Amino acid sequence: MRHIISIGDFDRDGINRLLDHAGQIDRKKYDAQALDGKILAVLFFEPSTRTRLSFESAIARLGGTSLTVGSVEACSIAKGETLADTIRVVSGYADAIVIRHPKEGAARLASEFSTVPVINAGDGAGQHPSQTLLDLYTIRQSMPIDGINIALIGDLRYGRTAHSLASALSLYNARLHTLCPRGLELPETLSARLEEQGMEIIAHENITDIIPEVDALYVTRVQRERFPDSASYFNVASSYRITPELLADAKKHLIVLHPLPRVDEIDPRVDEMPHAKYFEQSRNGVPVRMAMLMQVMQ
Amino acid sequence: MRHIISIGDFDRDGINRLLDHAGQIDRKKYDAQALDGKILAVLFFEPSTRTRLSFESAIARLGGTSLTVGSVEACSIAKGETLADTIRVVSGYADAIVIRHPKEGAARLASEFSTVPVINAGDGAGQHPSQTLLDLYTIRQSMPIDGINIALIGDLRYGRTAHSLASALSLYNARLHTLCPRGLELPETLSARLEEQGMEIIAHENITDIIPEVDALYVTRVQRERFPDSASYFNVASSYRITPELLADAKKHLIVLHPLPRVDEIDPRVDEMPHAKYFEQSRNGVPVRMAMLMQVMQ
Amino acid sequence: MRHIISIGDFDRDGINRLLDHAGQIDRKKYDAQALDGKILAVLFFEPSTRTRLSFESAIARLGGTSLTVGSVEACSIAKGETLADTIRVVSGYADAIVIRHPKEGAARLASEFSTVPVINAGDGAGQHPSQTLLDLYTIRQSMPIDGINIALIGDLRYGRTAHSLASALSLYNARLHTLCPRGLELPETLSARLEEQGMEIIAHENITDIIPEVDALYVTRVQRERFPDSASYFNVASSYRITPELLADAKKHLIVLHPLPRVDEIDPRVDEMPHAKYFEQSRNGVPVRMAMLMQVMQ
């Protein structure tokens, strides 16, 4: 594989191999000069500082050099020329391109014009494969992914990370529990496709029903702008808030994940509990992205 | 030479030596550790992402480290202190300075206060020597520069790249064909100087007259703001647009150059024709700038 | 010491050891691979280009890689999550964090949540230890710090660098001369503490009284916004302006320091005099910060 555009480009074996490789890297078994002398353009057409830093850290850990184009610059490029032209030009400066773009399909388009490998770092409502791979990696650190009971909580309509994760989990016989504000349900086309692939999806109305049942909580942020007013936002947000009290009923091995940043979705007191894996999840972005970089660059 | 400020600082031999060196670099004959441990400040007082990336790529290819100051930051520095002070401070942090500035003469001024070599990456209506050198390099990849028939098309009044290229070509017995909207002709002082140096300049009114005659087209962007209204802009822009149909009459070896970004000046269908050299021209910026860096740093 | 948050965390021996180390580095006696493979996050929640470049230069000189978060990005992070969360996330990407923040106490807070060493690059009205250390280093290049007569001139109320330097000098039996516009005196709590520590503080009204008496002038900028109108600003600013004429009465070994940028406080003609040490002071930021980095990273 020369490009990594979508988690859908991977089969289960492909994912497992990449996660195995990330695991080796995590145990410091990697060549810190693997990308020595290589230049990687990090082209962010919208800001996403965490993702950018995680990729740049991965590049540096492998001895490569980042050529960063932040969102302000990238947007000014975008006004002057087509994405195709920008990619052709940047291809001439770098040995690979990591692209973030607000428009779905932009990464695929970039891969068609690039003369060097392209990694999708998130394109609009589209794909964000590195996030999904690090989510899976974090689950696998605690338990086998196969047959997992996982709850997706929050904005399931617009939450790209939840979509990609659900798709990938359909390869692992997972059971999906969902909890979300009315109107922010999983898109029907997605849930239909998942069920067709044999995934069981159980919609819940109440957080307390979910907690004792599942192995993992995947909490995402509900944006205030999705609600007509602050009151209804706070009403919903507080009814989902993960607290130590709520987790009293959880299985001992339950893990709490969150793609970050979290705002009010998780009580800071949860941070100290063994269930809390979201900061580790964030840290896991580095070895997972190192494995992705090695895959496209070799 | 310790600084590179203007293409006018080079004689024909100096240009040829630099292009020869860039050619060697292009064939991978260079020391990838040449700038190991060296720090190069890339100080851009106005945004120019392509030029910045090209220089930073060149620096990384030689093993050096870029210390980037983007335009927002640079402008905030500029408010607080004189350029002389900024340059003296940055000289203390870096082993060389690559400067881009909106004011003509800024690079020369910088070189007077710097304790380290300065490379001009474009200063206002002034000079942009690295662009001219990569233009010449691209021509030379296809044919000898000497005695070339070249057409400059577009905004010849404000187009700095066209001015610098024309000046350099006067060292190579080139014949200059020009085509531009009324009011955007070559500045008279420039054309007078070129003719004094023995250059033949032929002004054309019609693109179809030019195509069969020349060895190279150097197309530049005409900015919409130069026209009273959109209609007159589109009228002019479309009359100059380079298309496959137009190129049917071209010499087989004709090359089409453009400093990029292109907007409507060149039909994307031209991209696939052997005449199209503008993306290669952009790529050539890296070896040419590597040769420039080596020259000032040795 | 794992973090460097405040100059107050150092005793006199600690400062001297660090300055000795910086001196060695200045004489090129250091391992240019000391931070090879290390990633240092440079997290600037407010712009300070000079400080950023100086740290990034220091990191590069030691072979490390900077992961830069400029102020625009940092502020957008700050809106989405707590500083504690940001620091925990960035800790997962880097081997150390250099932080600049507009709020006093932010660096200390960061050090409490970071899993990697933190260096304070200035936090609001709080501390700026690297500036103080380079100020001390520059003094020591010209004379022993012990027993020095030094004048602080300018905005002594809000001038953080003057506060930190005064505190540090209280460890060296320095005599402090002050000259400032009415209303911009040293904060009383600070001057009370300094006097309690045995420091003699002599307030002056006239620049000409100070010049012949002191070994060092530490000039800081008075911001125009502190004054009701431009006229009173210029009146004050001009009465403090350091000129060659004024320095005619100075001791031969007098040094003039300024944290830069300078605006009108020092006549450019002073630049050529042997008294002028402010550009050297700026350059000294690199070896001093290299010594700080080595201290936290070893």
Distance of CA C175 to the CA centre of its chain: 19
pLDDT band at B239 (very low <50, low <70, confident <90, very high): confident
Contact call for C39 and A61, based on CB within 8 A:
yes
Distance (Å, whole) CA B269 – CA B266: 8
C-alpha span between C26 and A30 (Å, rounded): 35
Q: How many Cα atoms are found within 13 Å in the side-chain-facing hemisphere of C93?
A: 31
For residue A54, the model assigns a pLDDT of: 98
B97 contact residues in C (CB cutoff 8 A)? none
What does the pLDDT look like over A10-35, one tens digit per residue? 999 999 999 999 999 999 999 999 99
For residue range A175-198, what is the model confidence (pLDDT) as tens digits? Answer: 999 999 988 999 999 999 999 999
Residues of A in contact with B40 (CB under 8 A): none
A–B CB contacts, 8 A cutoff, strictly below: 55
Best of C89, C91, C113 to disrupt the A interface (most A CBs within 10 Å) is C89
Consult the annotation and say whether B298 binds a ligand: no
Query: Do β-strands A65-69 and B149-153 pair in parallel, antiparallel, or remain unpaired?
Result: unpaired
What pLDDT, on the 0 to 100 scale, is given for residue A1? 52
Contact A90 B279 (CB under 8 A): no
Q: How far is B57 from chain A (nearest CA, A)?
A: 6
Query: Is A94 in contact with B57 (Cβ distance < 8 A)?
Result: yes
Asked if residue B289 has pLDDT above 90, the reply is yes
Binding-site residue set of C for L-aspartate:
79, 160, 221
The pLDDT score that the predictor gives to residue A229 is 84
A7: pLDDT strictly greater than 60: yes
Q: DSSP letter string over B216-241?
A: EEEE-PPPGGGSSSHHHHHHHHHHH-
Q: Which chains touch C (3 or more CB pairs under 8 A)?
A: A, B
Tokens of B28: 């991978």
Contact C69 A56 (CB under 8 A): no
Q: Give counts: helices (H), strands (E), chain B.
A: 12, 9
Nearest chain C residue to B92, by CA? C283
Chain C residue with CA closest to A71: the answer is C73
Which of C56, C60, C283 minimises the CB distance to B92? Answer: C283
The reported pLDDT for the residue numbered A176 is 98
Of B65, B69, B85, the CB nearest to C262: B85
Residue type, B164: S
Q: Contact C157/C183 with Cβ under 8 angstroms?
A: yes
Residue range B230-248: mean pLDDT, rounded:
88
CA distance B285 to chain A (A): 9
Q: Which of C63, C261, C286 sits opposite B93 (nearest CB)?
A: C286
Classify residue A121 as exposed, middle or buried by CB count within 10 Å of its CB (0-12, 13-18, 19+). buried
Strands B200-203, C96-101: pairing is: unpaired
**Probe site for chain B from C28, C30, C40, C49 (most B CB atoms < 10 A):** C49
Preferred mutation among C50, C130, C220, C223 to probe B, highest tally of B CBs within 10 A: C50
Asked whether the beta carbons of residue A285 and residue C92 sit closer than 8 angstroms, the reply is: yes
For chain C, how many helices (H) and strands (E)?
12, 9
Binding residues of C for carbamoyl phosphate: 50-51, 100, 128, 131, 260-261
Q: Nearest residue on chain C to B68, judged by CA atoms?
A: C53
The alpha-carbon radius of gyration of chain B (Å, integer) is 19
Secondary structure (3-state) at A264: coil
Q: Taking phi first (over 0 means left), then psi (-120 to 50 degrees means alpha), and beta for anything else, what does residue B260 get?
A: left
What count of other Cβ atoms lies within 10 Å of the Cβ of residue B163? 23
- Strand ordering across the sheet containing C96-101: C65-69, C39-44, C96-101, C118-123
Asked if A77 lies within 8 A of B261 by C-beta distance, the reply is yes
Closest-CA residue in chain B for C278? B89
B140 burial (CB, 10 Å; 0-12 / 13-18 / 19+) is buried
**What strands lie across the sheet with B175-179, from one edge to the other?**
B200-203, B175-179, B149-153, B216-219, B255-257
Size of interface A-C (CB pairs under 8 A): 56
CB spacing of B54 vs A93 below 8 angstroms: yes
Task: Tell me the chain C residues in contact with residue B74 when contact means C-beta distances shorter than 8 Å.
Answer: 49
Nearest-Cα distance to chain A for B282, in Å, is 6
pLDDT of res. B104: 93
User: Which residues from chain A sit within 8 angstroms of residue C63, using beta carbons?
Assistant: none
Secondary structure class of B153 (helix, strand, coil): strand
Which H or E run includes C69?
A: strand C65-69
d(CA A125, CA B9): 52
Mark yes or no for CB contact A279/C92 under 8 Å: yes
Residue given tokens 């300070």 in the structure block? C48
Contact A53 C65 (CB under 8 A): no
| Architecture in CATH of B130-282 | 3-Layer(aba) Sandwich (3.40)
* CATH dotted code for A7-127+284-297: 3.40.50.1370
Rg (CA), chain A: 19
Strand order across the B96-101 sheet:
B65-69, B39-44, B96-101, B118-123
Average pLDDT, chain A: 94
As a 3-state breakdown, chain A gives helix, strand, coil percent values, each rounded to 5, of: 50, 15, 35
Test the B interface: residue of A89, A112, A115, A116 with most B CBs within 10 Å: A89
What's the half-sphere exposure (Cβ side, CA atoms, 13 Å) at C99?
A: 37
Strand partners, C4: C119
- Cβ atoms < 10 Å from Cβ of C201: 17
**Searching chain A, which residue's CA lies closest to the CA of residue B57?**
A93
Q: Is the pLDDT of residue A98 over 80?
A: yes
Residues of chain A contacting B, Cβ within 8 Å: 37, 39, 41, 65, 67, 69-70, 72-74, 76-77, 80-82, 84-85, 88-90, 92-94
Spell out which residues of chain C touch residue A72, defining contact as CB-CB under 8 Å: 72
- Low-confidence residues of chain C, pLDDT below 50? none
Binding residues of A: 50-51, 79, 100, 128, 131, 160, 221, 260-261
Please judge whether C77 and A49 are an interchain contact, meaning their C-beta atoms are less than 8 angstroms apart.
yes
Q: Give the pLDDT confidence score for residue A34 in this predicted structure.
A: 97
Contact residues for B260 (Cβ-Cβ < 8 A; gap 6+): A81, A85, A89, B50, B278, B281, B282
SS3 string, C5-25, reads CCHHHCCHHHHHHHHHHHHHH
CB A133 within 8 A of CB A7: yes
| Domain edges within chain A | 7-127+284-297, 130-282
Q: Using the predicted structure, report yes or no on whether residue B75 has a pLDDT greater than 90.
A: no
Residue A261: closest CA among chain C residues belongs to which residue? C81
- Name the minimum distance, in Å, from the CA of B196 to any CA of chain A: 37
Nearest to B104 by CA among B47, B174, B61, B45: B45
Q: Assign domain C7-127+285-297 one CATH number from 1.10.940.10, 3.40.50.1370, 3.40.190.10, 3.40.50.10440.
A: 3.40.50.1370
Yes or no, beta carbons of B93 and C262 under 8 Å apart: no
pLDDT at A227: 82
